[in-house]
């Protein structure tokens, strides 16, 4: 019985990360924003890092960035776990540029939430 519940818990935890990865791959800023913590640190190309940005404000900023840059999707290049935290790195493709993306997630109440999102223009 314990083994079954551990298996189910692992599936649920991985499922929320899979949803986030799918949202990045399909360039769905709204779905990405659903995984934001209440406060996040956000870096967008050409802008200063904003620490402790509210979820709603960060959602709007990300949506505008996706629209203005014609974001088409993202390939995940690295995915690592460290305790209750997870790190994702990838390359995002826009209409004229590519971007390096790093995402730091923390687990809260059995789900992973984005606490830091950095998007920088690829060289």
Query: Per residue in 3-13, pLDDT tens?
Result: 444 444 444 44
Cβ proximity of 78 and 68 under 8 Å? no
Whether 91 shows a pLDDT value over 70: the answer reads: yes
pLDDT mean across residues, the chain: 89
**What is the set of domains in the chain, with CATH numbers?**
2-121 (3.10.450.50)
Whether 99 shows a pLDDT value over 70: the answer reads: yes
Exposed, middle or buried: residue 40 (CB in 10 Å: 0-12, 13-18, 19+)? buried
- Global confidence as pTM: 0.86
């Amino acid at each position: 019985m314990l083994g079954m519940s551990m298996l189910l818990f692992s599936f649920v935890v991985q499922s929320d990360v899979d949803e986030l990865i799918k949202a990045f791959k399909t360039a769905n800023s709204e779905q990405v924003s659903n995984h934001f913590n209440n406060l996040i640190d956000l870096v967008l190309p050409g802008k200063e890092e904003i620490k402790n940005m509210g979820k709603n404000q960060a959602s709007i900023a990300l949506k505008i960035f996706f629209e203005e840059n014609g974001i088409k999707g993202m390939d995940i290049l690295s995915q690592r776990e460290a305790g209750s935290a997870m790190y994702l790195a990838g390359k995002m493709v826009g209409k004229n540029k590519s971007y390096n993306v790093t995402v730091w997630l923390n687990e809260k109440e059995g789900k992973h939430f984005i606490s830091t999102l950095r998007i920088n223009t690829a060289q």
